[in-house]
Amino acid sequence: MLPIEVSVYIAISAALFFDFVNGFHDSANAIATVVGTRVLRPLYAVGIAAVANFAGPFIFGTAVAHTVGKGIIQPSFSTVDVIFAGLIGAIIWDLITWYFGLPSSSSHALIGGLIGSALLAGGPSALVLPGIEKTLTFIVISPTLGFCSAFGIAIIIMYLFRRYTASYVNKIFGRLQICSSIFFSLTHGANDGQKTMGVITALLISGGMLDSTSFSVPVEVIFASAIAIALGTFFGGWRIVKTMAFKLTSLRPYQGFCAETGGGVILTSMAWLGIPVSTTHAIAGAIMGVGATKRLSAVRWGVGKRIVYAWIITIPASAAVAALVLEIMKIFV
């Protein structure tokens, strides 16, 4: 049996690795449109996104971290083993979907992993049902909001620039899209980076290394989480970028600007409200929204359907993997 401090640090390492995988897996969300419109080369886009992902958690507070850290699992069941198994379940599912190029949600893989390990440890009473219900509700709401937000912004821009040539509009929004890409990366770092902060803080409390009477995220935890997601973003793969940037719909620079801005507005709002939404859901909905302004057939709904299937199975799949990991840990640890 390992000392509790050692177990905590092993679990924290897993949490930071999950944060790295999150950045690696979800880097496509931040750079898909700016690459898809050919405003930036992938390497430049990833570098900018990595810096913005690092800065995001310092700007938008820790409301999401509070929700993830104490709003999914009841404190009495939030043990090091349960959290560790949840993290491993999320990491395995993220790597599976990354390998197959499916833009599933790392956020919901984490939520699913925590749910699965907690259910095995204590049954339904181990869960904070209101927090889970809120998260599940926004699986549907966040892509819908992303779709509507980007669709509305695109309609306004199309009206305002209706008298200008396509080359002029592309030139203007090619520059503006760099700004919108940075904005979306900031919100991605804020929303997704905070989830790891919440998990690490819960681990420190579980191990008796932080005061359990208040849930306060230490500065060093914010810093470590920000570095991990930034590094993951920099080394992120090209597989999911191809799906998000080229297969959902063809994009022009003004449409990329609308998608990133619309998705970023949704993520900013959710970060302030403390709701752990999916950046994948937000940007995919936004990309389909701008595509629909041309005509509904411009969106490749078949690809969108494949993505939706990946979203639907993410939570139960990662929950099952996490429960299996916890069962194996009971046998060998």
pLDDT tens digit string along 165-198?
Answer: 888 988 898 888 888 888 988 888 888 888 899 9
| pLDDT (0 to 100) of residue 203 | 94
Single out the residue of 277, 248, 311, 194 nearest to residue 32, CA to CA. Answer: 248
Residue with tokens 């929950």: 319
| pLDDT (0 to 100) of residue 144 | 87
DSSP conformation letters of 257-275: HHHHHHHHHHHHHHHHHT-
CB 186 within 8 Å of CB 267: no
| pLDDT (0 to 100) of residue 141 | 85
> d(Cα 90, Cα 92) in Å, to the nearest integer?
6
pLDDT tens digit string along 290-305?
Answer: 888 876 665 666 656 6
> d(Cα 139, Cα 211) in Å, to the nearest integer?
33
Characterize 101-124 residue by residue with b for buried, 16 or more Cβ atoms within 10 angstroms of its Cβ, and e for exposed. Answer: bbbbbbbbbbbbbbbbbbbbbbee
Evaluate if residue 269 carries a pLDDT over 60. yes
pTM score: 0.84
pLDDT tens digit string along 22-65?
Answer: 777 666 566 766 776 677 777 777 788 788 888 888 888 888 99
pLDDT over 70 percentage in the chain = 86
| pLDDT (0 to 100) of residue 214 | 80
Q: How many domains would you assign to the chain?
A: 1
| Residue span of the structural domain in which 11 resides | 4-332
| pLDDT (0 to 100) of residue 28 | 59
Taking the alpha carbons at both ends of the chain, their separation in whole angstroms is 7
| pLDDT (0 to 100) of residue 242 | 55
CB 179 within 8 Å of CB 256: no
Q: Which residue has the higher pLDDT, 203 or 244?
A: 203
| pLDDT (0 to 100) of residue 151 | 93
Q: How confident is the model at residue 240 (pLDDT cuts 50, 70, 90)?
A: low
Evaluate if residue 20 carries a pLDDT over 80. yes
